[in-house]
Amino acid sequence: MERFKYVLSHIAVLGDIVGNITLSLPEDVHSEMRSFSDVRWSEVARKAIIDKLETLKLAESLAQKSKLTMKDVEEFSKKIKSSAARRMRIEGSH
């Protein structure tokens, strides 16, 4: 049976706490995260959430304004996700 570790993270914007989220992670993932103590994991999560929201809004907007099929929108969404993931890896390496 897989065991999970709960990680509480506050998401801050301009120094003000605007919300928080509790993540349930497998213990091995949490352990690996601790080995990278210089990474601000709450920032990683915040960026991932914002990127996902932007992707969803863009896909919704395109779907409403165009004659794209749902399959077209899903393919476009995958491309955006892939691009965002590359950006995160590049930003995270600095």
Separation between Cα atoms, residue 56 and residue 77, nearest integer Å: 8
Segment (H or E) for 4: strand 4-13
Q: Which domain covers residue 54, as residue numbers?
A: 4-92
pLDDT tens-digit readout, 13-55: 556 656 777 888 899 999 999 999 999 998 998 899 999 999 9
Residue 83 has pLDDT above 70, yes or no: yes
Distances (CA, A) of 57 to 18, 19, 64, 69: 21, 21, 11, 16
* Model confidence, pTM: 0.52
- Structural tokens at position 64: 């409403």
Coil, helix or strand at residue 12 = strand
Which residue matches tokens 């990278």? 36
Q: How many domains does the chain have?
A: 1
What are 77-80's contacts with CB under 8 Å, separation 24+? Answer: 80/55
